[in-house]
């Protein structure tokens, strides 16, 4: 099982959030300029914060279903193991982290 830092470094890259951001701009027509794609490619603080929020919210919502399917690593399970916390404490930790990402 990876550490929470290892998990997050991979989860934020492999999530579909970056691709969804780019596709959203393409769907807006003339707004999809080279400058917009350069901005997105550099992963501004705004984009990074939105990726963190989406990842944590997704992991919280899908955790129980994923565990029933036998998935080994989720940020909730990893945090619980690393910190000896309960499920509720781990979910609350990631809710706070998602809220902090917007600040």
Alpha carbon of residue 57 to chain centroid: 7
C-beta separation of 80 from 88 below 8 A = no
User: What tens digit of pLDDT does each residue of 59-81 get?
Assistant: 888 877 777 776 667 888 889 99
Report how far residue 45's alpha carbon sits from residue 59's, in angstroms, rounded to the nearest whole number.
21
Eight-state DSSP code of residue 80: H
C-beta separation of 101 from 55 below 8 A = no
In 10 A of CB 48, how many CB atoms?
Answer: 14
User: What tens digit of pLDDT does each residue of 22-52 get?
Assistant: 788 788 888 888 888 888 777 778 888 888 8
Task: Quote the pTM value.
Answer: 0.69
């Amino acid at each position: 099982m990876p550490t929470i830092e290892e998990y997050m470094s991979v989860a934020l890259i492999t999530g579909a959030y970056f691709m969804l951001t780019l596709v959203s701009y393409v769907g807006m027509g003339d707004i999809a300029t080279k400058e917009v794609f350069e901005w997105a490619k550099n992963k501004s603080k705004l984009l990074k914060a939105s990726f963190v929020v989406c990842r944590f919210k997704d992991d919280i919502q899908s955790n129980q279903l994923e565990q029933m399917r036998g998935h080994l690593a989720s940020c909730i399970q990893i945090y619980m193991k690393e910190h000896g916390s309960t499920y509720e404490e781990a979910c609350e930790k990631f809710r706070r982290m998602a809220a902090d990402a917007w600040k």
